[in-house]
Amino acid sequence: MSEVKVVDRSFAVSRKRGNGTIRYELWEADGVVTRYNLTYINHLIFSGDNGRVLGYDNKHDHHRHLMGKVEPVAYVSFEEIEQRFEQEWISIMEAYHAQRHR
């Protein structure tokens, strides 16, 4: 079976919570995630890389983008990558929010 895009969604993070956009893109073949792109965009935190503060994708092997720096990541499963991404963007957003309200 060929690869099919099964998720393509974005949602806005409210200004009250820290601002930005979360983007999920997933492709599957035979029910298995073959390609992914998970991104947290917030131009107020990082203006480089089109505002991508944090991102995980496997376009050129499994890797992580963090404020303009790219590093490889060990891949166990997509679920682990997704969980790591969610924990990190929430942590980044909370730190930014706390800094703004000092």
What's residue 1's pLDDT? 67
What's residue 39's pLDDT? 97
What's residue 9's pLDDT? 97
Distances (CA, A) of 5 to 16, 39, 58, 91: 32, 16, 14, 28
What is the block-wise mean pLDDT of the chain (102 residues), using blocks of 10 residues? Answer: 92 83 96 95 93 95 96 94 95 84 72
Per-domain boundaries in the chain: 4-100
What's residue 99's pLDDT? 79
Query: Would the pTM of this model clear 0.85, i.e. be above it?
Result: yes
